[in-house]
Amino acid sequence: MYTLGTIIGFLFVYRGFPSFTVSGFTGPLLSADPLTAFFARFAGTRIVGLLATWFFFVVGSFYLKRAYDSIALNLKIDHFRTAGIVLLIGAVMLIVFGAGLIILFLGATLQAASFLSIEENRVQ
């Protein structure tokens, strides 16, 4: 789901930049107020792309949390459950850019610690 969200977000955000298109930069610089015309024409596309990316990140994190809950139940390691919850909270908080990224980094650290806490004899 993370990959799908990233691709959809990139396509919407990419579509919002006229300088990346084949026809080149057209439109907003020819108006009386170029900044207002630029935001009126392209900001909505970027917002839709960013919201679509956020939605797919949240959905992907929800399923990741469910998988980690199952792993925690089978291996009896509660760090997986904690990592899943923290990753889900981080994905939801990604709207608040700094807080979400910090929480996602913390979740990834907990995820690594969870995998390192699996004993070798349990894997068999």
Mean pLDDT within 43-53: 76
Over 50: is that where the pLDDT of 89 sits?
A: yes
Q: Which residue has the tokens 């399923």?
A: 63
pTM, whole model, 2 decimals?
A: 0.69
Name the residue with higher pLDDT: 124 or 9: 9
Task: Give the confidence band of 28 by pLDDT, cuts at 50, 70, 90.
Answer: very low
Tell me: pLDDT of 31 over 70. Answer: no
- Sequence spans of domains, the chain: 2-123
Alpha helices in 1-124, H assignment, sequence order: 2-15, 34-75, 79-92, 97-116, 120-123
